[in-house]
């Protein structure tokens, strides 16, 4: 079953039209039950918001743990059947007449439907115990295990469109999107799973029409932060974990519609303020001024006007979306989450789910974030939605699914620089180093002046000897296009010095030293540049100069164990055993702490 509707809707598509009113209204789903154990989390801001939405535990039904909406949602669904359009915005409001008809039992209860089928392998052999998960449009889920004949069943479902997933050990996950369940009928969907064979390191898997991966294993916030953190100076490109936690920003808001401070922007602000002064109680005037401040990247000034507009029209979803975005951009994700949960009945679009994923992520709730990013991609596979989903998978070290998503991304968006960067990082994390270098080199060729591909490529200077010349060529271009970037000279030096794997043979060490010094002239506090320059001096037996650089490296970053190790060796070679031993002890403590933190964060990613 393939999805017919691409769901490519703008914010204005949230508004209800005339066909949504009357007896033929397709009522919003009250949400199927969720996964076992969802309601047992400790109270958090995200948990409080979910309880506001009505996610409360229910007794098991047919052996399936249920987490669904409260009985109030059923009443709200019935009320939705009687909405009438009012106002020029087209938003539906219940009238006293309709409400009284509902109270009198005029409208019949919505009849539920059912979904069933069989999970089989390539030879049609039933897969007993396969986990079958059903996800509603609001992200709520329920799961069952296939019986000995591979049969599964969801006997009581609200009429709606769902996404169906199947997982089993030894098989590739299977997905069916846009599974439509009608009231009073039983829908049959059989799932065919393919065997999971060993993949070759440099062999690309066939690109599926729709990424099939979905993992509802509970995830915890981890030490792996994000590929969007500020760039660092990693001297250990062999660690995928460090590569993920350091790097330039690959995400961010869309370009500003207006340049702040320009005459056009000033005139627009004056006009909008005059309109608001003339009609301070106007929803439209408050909304437009609030959106103006968002367009010039000043969400803090826009929030009061968007809040006023939301108070005037609590059900306006486009205004609510803009207000939630402003909350998120001003470090108030809890407010954004509460508002978005309240707007759930607005038939949320892919853009809405993507924003909710960003909010969940900001609140340190990665499992719902992953669900929202995937749902957004399935509803509308835009470049942003696919990238955010692949990035989130990669952060939780779900490498193979991330590769699948990024491959689909570069196929549909061949000019997306960050999609190729994501693919390169994912391939690197799978130890497919040559393919990773090729992806990042291609990314740098798409926009030679953008520093981001070079910064990730520079961290891989020593992993692919066969591509050393290509990497060196890009590093030279990095220095040419970014002459004031300290990292350009730092990575240029590393690529020239260590990229070929030939040691000191044939290396222009004078050029390497000059590049390190140029990097330090631009950024004197670069611990890694001091460290690498000290190692270069040490290789040349320039012991005093090497010791001075190691001391600077320790001062710049006292938590760097490598700097303490090399300083200890320099002291011992100079005959200063006391200070050498002291630095060795610091090195051992820091290395142990680093190892524990890395192991803990990786465990939490998979817990």
Other CB atoms within 10 A of residue 226 CB = 16
User: In terms of DSSP bridges, do strands 191-192 and 113-120 run parallel, antiparallel, or are they unpaired?
Assistant: parallel
Decide if 300 contacts 330 (C-beta within 8 A): yes
Q: How far apart are CA 183 and CA 503, in angstroms?
A: 72
Q: How far apart are CA 280 and CA 316, in angstroms?
A: 18
Q: How far apart are CA 299 and CA 397, in angstroms?
A: 33
Q: Which residues are within 8 A (CB) of 220 and not within 5 positions of it... i.e. 6 or more apart?
A: 366, 604, 605, 607
Is residue 104 a part of any domain in this protein? yes
Q: How far apart are CA 65 and CA 142, in angstroms?
A: 8
pLDDT, tens digit, 9 for 90 and up, residues 537-577:
999 999 999 999 999 999 999 999 999 999 999 999 999 99
pLDDT, tens digit, 9 for 90 and up, residues 166-208:
888 777 788 887 788 888 888 899 888 876 644 443 333 333 3
Is residue 119 a part of any domain in this protein? yes
Considering the entire predicted model, what is its pTM?
0.58
Decide if 283 contacts 309 (C-beta within 8 A): yes
Alpha helices in 330-432 (DSSP H): 333-342, 350-362, 366-379, 383-395, 399-412, 417-429
- Which is it for the CA torsion 142, 148, 151, 156, positive or negative? negative
Provide the number of structural domains found in the chain: 1
Q: What share of the chain is helix, strand, coil (3-state, %, to 5)?
A: 50, 10, 35
Q: Which residues are within 8 A (CB) of 305 and not within 5 positions of it... i.e. 6 or more apart?
A: 276, 286, 287, 289, 290, 293
Residue 295 pLDDT exceeds 50: yes
Residue 52 pLDDT exceeds 50: no
pLDDT of residue 544: 95
Q: Among candidates 332, 328, 376, 370, which has minimal Cα distance to 351? A: 376
pLDDT, tens digit, 9 for 90 and up, residues 360-377:
999 988 888 988 999 999
Confidence of residue 43 (pLDDT cuts 50, 70, 90): very low
Is residue 182 a part of any domain in this protein? yes
Lowest mean pLDDT among 88-92, 249-253, 399-403: 88-92
Alpha helices in 540-576 (DSSP H): 543-556, 561-573
CA distances to 165, 218, 535, 559 from 589, in Å: 46, 32, 22, 10
pLDDT of residue 601: 57
Q: How far apart are CA 512 and CA 514, in angstroms?
A: 5
Is residue 123 a part of any domain in this protein? yes
pLDDT, tens digit, 9 for 90 and up, residues 9-31:
333 333 333 333 332 323 233 33
pLDDT of residue 303: 96
Residue 607 pLDDT exceeds 70: no
Is residue 233 a part of any domain in this protein? no
Is residue 8 a part of any domain in this protein? no
Residue 122 pLDDT exceeds 60: yes
pLDDT of residue 120: 87
Q: Which residues are within 8 A (CB) of 95 and not within 5 positions of it... i.e. 6 or more apart?
A: 82, 84
| CATH number, position 90 | 2.60.40.10
Is residue 495 a part of any domain in this protein? no
Q: Which residues are within 8 A (CB) of 71 and not within 5 positions of it... i.e. 6 or more apart?
A: none
Residue 409 pLDDT exceeds 70: yes
Main-chain dihedrals φ then ψ at residue 570, nearest 5 degrees: -65, -40
Q: How far apart are CA 314 and CA 426, in angstroms?
A: 43
Confidence of residue 140 (pLDDT cuts 50, 70, 90): confident
Is residue 134 a part of any domain in this protein? yes
Tokens of 29: 């789903």
pLDDT of residue 57: 35
pLDDT of residue 565: 94
pLDDT, tens digit, 9 for 90 and up, residues 68-111:
333 333 322 322 333 222 333 333 333 333 333 333 333 345 68
Range of the domain at 67: 15-192
Mean pLDDT for the chain? Answer: 74
pLDDT, tens digit, 9 for 90 and up, residues 490-535:
999 998 888 765 555 678 899 999 999 999 999 999 999 999 999 9
Q: Concatenated DSSP letters for 354-369? A: HHHHHHHHHTT-HHHH
């Amino acid at each position: 079953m393939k999805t017919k509707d691409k769901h490519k809707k703008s914010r204005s598509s949230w508004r209800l039209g005339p066909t949504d009113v009357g007896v033929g209204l397709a009522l919003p789903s009250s949400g199927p039950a969720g996964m076992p154990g969802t309601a047992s989390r400790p109270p958090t801001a995200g948990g409080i918001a979910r309880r506001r939405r009505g996610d409360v535990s229910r007794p098991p039904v047919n052996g399936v743990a249920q987490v669904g909406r409260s009985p109030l949602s059923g009443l709200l669904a019935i009320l939705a059947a009687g909405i009438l359009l009012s106002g020029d915005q087209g938003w539906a409001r219940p009238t006293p007449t309709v409400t009284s008809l509902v109270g009198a039992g005029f409208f019949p209860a919505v009849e539920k439907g059912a979904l069933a089928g069989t999970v089989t392998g390539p030879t049609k052999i039933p897969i007993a115990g396969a986990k079958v998960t059903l996800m509603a449009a609001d992200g709520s889920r329920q799961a069952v295990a296939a019986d000995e004949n591979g049969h599964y069943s969801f006997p009581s479902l609200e009429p709606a469109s769902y996404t169906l997933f199947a997982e089993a050990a030894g098989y590739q996950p299977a997905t069916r999107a846009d599974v439509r369940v009608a009231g009073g009928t039983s829908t049959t969907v059989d799932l065919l799973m393919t065997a999971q064979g060993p993949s070759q390191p440099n062999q690309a898997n066939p690109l599926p029409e729709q990424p099939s991966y979905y993992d509802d294993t509970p995830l915890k916030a981890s030490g792996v932060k994000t590929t969007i953190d500020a760039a660092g100076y990693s001297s250990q490109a062999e660690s995928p974990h460090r590569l993920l936690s350091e790097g330039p920003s690959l995400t961010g808001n869309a370009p500003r519609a207006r340049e702040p401070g320009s005459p056009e922007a000033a005139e627009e602000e004056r006009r909008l303020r005059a309109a608001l002064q003339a009609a301070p109680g106007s929803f439209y005037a408050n909304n437009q001024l609030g959106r103006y401040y968002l367009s010039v990247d000043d969400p803090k000034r826009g929030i009061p006007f968007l809040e006023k507009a939301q108070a005037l029209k609590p059900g306006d979803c486009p205004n609510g979306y803009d207000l939630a975005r402003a909350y998120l951009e001003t470090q108030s994700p809890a407010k954004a989450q509460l508002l978005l949960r309240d707007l759930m009945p607005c038939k949320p679009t892919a853009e809405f789910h993507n924003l909710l994923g960003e909010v969940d992520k900001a609140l340190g709730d990665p499992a719902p974030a992953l669900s929202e990013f995937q749902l957004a991609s399935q509803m509308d596979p835009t470049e942003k939605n696919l990238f955010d989903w692949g990035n989130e998978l990669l952060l939780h070290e779900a490498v193979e699914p991330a590769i699948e998503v990024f491959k689909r991304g570069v196929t549909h968006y061949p000019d997306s620089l960050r999609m190729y960067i994501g693919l390169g990082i994912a391939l690197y994390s799978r130890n497919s180093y040559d393919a990773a270098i090729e992806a990042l080199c291609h990314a740098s060729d798409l926009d030679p002046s953008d520093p981001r591909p070079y910064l990730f490529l520079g961290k891989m200077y020593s992993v692919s000897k066969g591509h050393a010349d290509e990497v060196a060529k890009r590093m030279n271009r990095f220095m040419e296009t970014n002459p004031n970037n300290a990292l350009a000279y730092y990575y240029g030096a590393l690529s020239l010095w260590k990229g070929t794997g030939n040691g000191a043979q044939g290396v222009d060490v004078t050029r390497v030293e000059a590049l390190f010094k140029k990097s330090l002239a631009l950024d004197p506090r670069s611990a890694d540049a001091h460290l690498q320059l000290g190692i270069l001096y040490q290789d040349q037996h320039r012991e005093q100069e090497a010791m001075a650089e190691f001391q600077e490296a320790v001062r710049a970053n006292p938590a760097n164990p490598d700097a303490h190790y090399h300083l200890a060796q320099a002291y011992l070679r100079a005959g200063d055993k006391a200070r050498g031993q002291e630095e060795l002890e610091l090195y051992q403590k820091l290395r142990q702490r680093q190892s524990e933190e890395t192991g803990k964060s990786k465990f939490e990613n998979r817990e």
